[in-house]
Structure 1
Amino acid sequence: MNLDFTPSKDVKAIETVVHGLVMNIATPFPLPQTDGCKNNVLTCPLKAGQKATYVVMQPVLRSYPKVKVVVKWVLKNEDRDNLICILIPSRIN
């Protein structure tokens, strides 16, 4: 999945934060890499007003429970301000 966004100010660092929302309860989702600047496409620093693309490559493991879940995917800058915050309705089969 590709997430396109345009930062309103220069960005030096990006943190990826993901939660699964089940029955409105947020559960942190562990990621192997939370440094968004080490994404395979996205490199920092980012310039204000220039489109950037964050590529999500997260495998769904067999150990995950079979459940309907809303995935909350957030990218934060070095000041912990949200660059992107999206909710993705999902179902793990």
Structure 2
Amino acid sequence: MATLSLLAFFLPLAASVPVDFFKPCDSVGKINSLDVTPCVGSGLCQFPRGQDITINVNFTMGSEITAAKPAVFAYLGFLKVPEPFPMEQDSCGHFSRNCPLAANIEQTYTTHVLIKDAYPKIRVVAEWQIRDQNDQIVICFAVPVQVV
């Protein structure tokens, strides 16, 4: 159980990458670009323990947003596990404009996460979501991640 909790901590970090190997998932918004710094490797984001990860997602809003919160999942084989990632639950402050946000406008979502030294070295697929006030998925993407 402790491993899953630690897994939750680093999985969301892998979500954003300046690469073509992220997979968008069903959402009302459209991802225009994704950038993770650092993201070392091709086809797999490798996150060194003890370093900060910066995630930038440029997207076009699909609906109006008055509130937003993150949700992170890890795919362990075919099992999708929700991760209790300890992060700020109000995502509105992470957008380039503050909430409320109008539909059909371009936004940037930015967040920073520390990959702690205590995290296990593991390889998973991480799925990062931002959900609105109605729990509707605004943006969603999945990325292969390895903590090194």
Please classify the TM superposition score into its range, dividing by the shorter chain length: 0.7 to 0.9
1:61 aligned onto 2:110: no
Count of equivalent residues? 93
Name the structure 2 match of 1:92: 147
1:14-93 to 2 correspondence within 5 Å? 14-25=68-79, 26-39=81-94, 41-93=96-148
Runs of 5+ unmatched residues, structure 2 = 1-54
Q: 1:41 to 1:8 in 2, by over 3 A?
A: closer
Please state if 1:13 is matched with 2:67: yes
In the superposition, the TM-score normalised over structure 1's length comes to: 0.87
Q: Return the letter of the residue paired with 2:121.
A: K
CA distance in 2, matches of 1:75, 1:88: 15
1:43 shift after superposition = 1.8
State which drifts further: 25-34 or 3-12. 25-34
Matching residue of 2:58: 4
Normalising to structure 2: TM-score of the pair?
A: 0.57
RMSD after superposition = 1.6
After TM superposition, what 4+ stretches of structure 1 lie above 4 angstroms from structure 2?
A: none
Counting aligned pairs with the same residue, the percent is 24
Higher normalized helix content (fraction of residues)? 2
